[in-house]
Amino acid sequence: MSQFFWKISFGLLAITQITQAWKLVCYLGSLDNSKSVEYTNAAELITSGYFNITKKTIVHAHGYRGNLTTQGTDLMMATCLSKPDLNCCAVDYAEEANFGQIPYLNFPLVVAKAYLVQNQLAQAWKILWQNGMKPETMHVMGLSLGAHVCGNAARTFRWLTNQTIARATGMDPAKPSYDGAFSIMPRIDQSCADFVDIIHTDTNRNGMATPTGHVDFFPNIITYRKTGVQEGCPPINYVENPPLSPKDACSHRRSLNLYVDAWCGDDQLLAAQASDEDEWASANFVPKVIARIGESIDTTLRGQFYLRTAGEPPYGLGEAGLTAQ
Ligand SMILES: *[C@@H]1O[C@H](CO)[C@@H](O)[C@H](O)[C@H]1NC(C)=O
Ligand SMILES: *[C@@H]1O[C@H](CO)[C@@H](O)[C@H](O)[C@H]1NC(C)=O
Ligand SMILES: *[C@@H]1O[C@H](CO)[C@@H](O)[C@H](O)[C@H]1NC(C)=O
């Protein structure tokens, strides 16, 4: 009952704030050449040649307080553009993600805005689909709040079209409102796409600890439990390093950096399946099922996967990273 109440309240709040400021942006050849459209005009991406329905597509969304040039969205798009035969698109919802201006206090408003954006994003994909886009060529992904935006949009797309998007990747999906106490919003999970993989790098602070994908990666979880940060990230304390300040964001954004690193050719980001971190950390653990972070992941795999990484790129430690010691 109370969940229902809150969802309706958020929905109403979002609807009273409709601005349609957000845009779907697709790049062609370089970051300097892009086309941005409102969701109702998504078909223009195809007619203008910025979205080629014969190609595979990456759609990436930034997080809370982000925009296209912060939080690694540009890095993700540049990496995408360096690969042949991909449509490279981003969700530019900077206005919604920064709505209200008051840091932290505005988070519930931004969550309500994100709810609206994800529903309209699903509409945009429906329009693309009606114009020839093939859902089995779609790989949607996002960092933090953007992980929920793309994941939830993919689920809504399925409700709208009875078609399923191939893959959704969550990069440390945001925790507040989505996991743990006070989690009231639908979130990225297995119902979003045919294959959902999630990289969890900041499970005590900004990121979701609950595994909700088909595959969930927990890099450096033992080190993280001891130090509160990922390998190579500076130590933080709650007073000097408020949420998402540069030092605090290091562990949260490592999820995206690991993905980009893998995509740029680091094939050593191998992870071992275990039922939980205690099994993985036990002295007699032997890796059996192995998953690889990144584009080339085996989408038939299921479960939780653990690995150690280096503190800077190339992050992959290969087989040495498959055990906790
Ligand atoms: C779409 O991509 C294919 C394969 O790269 C290419 O042959 C075709 O000309 C492209 N279509 C448009 C409209 O750009
Ligand atoms: C993105 O955010 C950064 C940091 O808040 C800001 O400096 C920059 O001007 C923003 N870019 C755009 C295009 O709004
Ligand atoms: C939805 O898709 C499934 C699987 O492709 C199909 O069996 C079912 O008939 C479809 N339902 C509708 C209402 O189109």
Band (pLDDT 50/70/90 cuts) for residue 105 is confident
Question: Do 136 and 245 lie in a common domain?
Answer: no
Strands across the sheet with 195-199, in order? 30-37, 23-28, 86-92, 56-61, 138-143, 167-171, 195-199, 215-219, 303-307, 270-273, 290-292
Band (pLDDT 50/70/90 cuts) for residue 324 is very high
CA of 148 to the centre of ligand 3 (A): 25
Cβ distance 211 to 187 under 8 Å? Answer: no
Answer yes or no: is the C-beta of 49 below 6 A from any ligand 1 atom: yes
> Residue 294: which domain range?
218-325
Question: Do 99 and 248 lie in a common domain?
Answer: no
CA of 281 to the centre of ligand 2 (A): 41
Answer yes or no: is the C-beta of 70 below 6 A from any ligand 2 atom: yes
Residue 292's SS3 state is strand
Question: Do 1 and 132 lie in a common domain?
Answer: yes
Using the atom order of ligand 1, give the atom closest to the CA of residue 52.
1
pLDDT digits (tens, 9 = 90+) for 176-217: 889 987 788 999 999 999 999 999 999 999 999 999 999 999
> CA neighbours within 13 Å on the CB side: how many for 313?
14
pLDDT at 119 over 80: yes
Question: Do 20 and 146 lie in a common domain?
Answer: yes
Question: Do 29 and 177 lie in a common domain?
Answer: yes
pLDDT at 5 over 80: no
Percent of the chain whose pLDDT exceeds 70? 94
CA of 217 to the centre of ligand 1 (A): 35
Distance, in Å, from the CA atom of 63 to the CA atom of 93, rounded to the nearest integer, reads: 9
Question: Do 104 and 10 lie in a common domain?
Answer: yes
Band (pLDDT 50/70/90 cuts) for residue 18 is low
Nearest-ligand number for the alpha carbon of 56: 1
Question: Do 240 and 92 lie in a common domain?
Answer: no
CA of 82 to the centre of ligand 1 (A): 17
Answer yes or no: is the C-beta of 29 below 6 A from any ligand 1 atom: no
Question: Do 185 and 226 lie in a common domain?
Answer: no
Question: Do 188 and 78 lie in a common domain?
Answer: yes
CA of 163 to the centre of ligand 3 (A): 8
**pTM of the model as a whole:** 0.93
Between helix 73-81 and helix 246-263 the angle, nearest 10°, is: 10
Q: For residue 80, what is the domain's CATH number?
A: 3.40.50.1820
Name the residue of 25, 70, 91 whose CB sits within 8 Å of the most ligand 2 atoms, as the mutation to test its pocket: 70
Question: Do 143 and 242 lie in a common domain?
Answer: no
Nearest-ligand number for the alpha carbon of 87: 1
Question: Do 171 and 251 lie in a common domain?
Answer: no
Number of domains in the chain: 2
Cβ distance 13 to 184 under 8 Å? Answer: no
Answer yes or no: is the C-beta of 52 below 6 A from any ligand 1 atom: yes
Question: Do 52 and 139 lie in a common domain?
Answer: yes
Answer yes or no: is the C-beta of 90 below 6 A from any ligand 2 atom: no
Percent of the chain whose pLDDT exceeds 90? 82
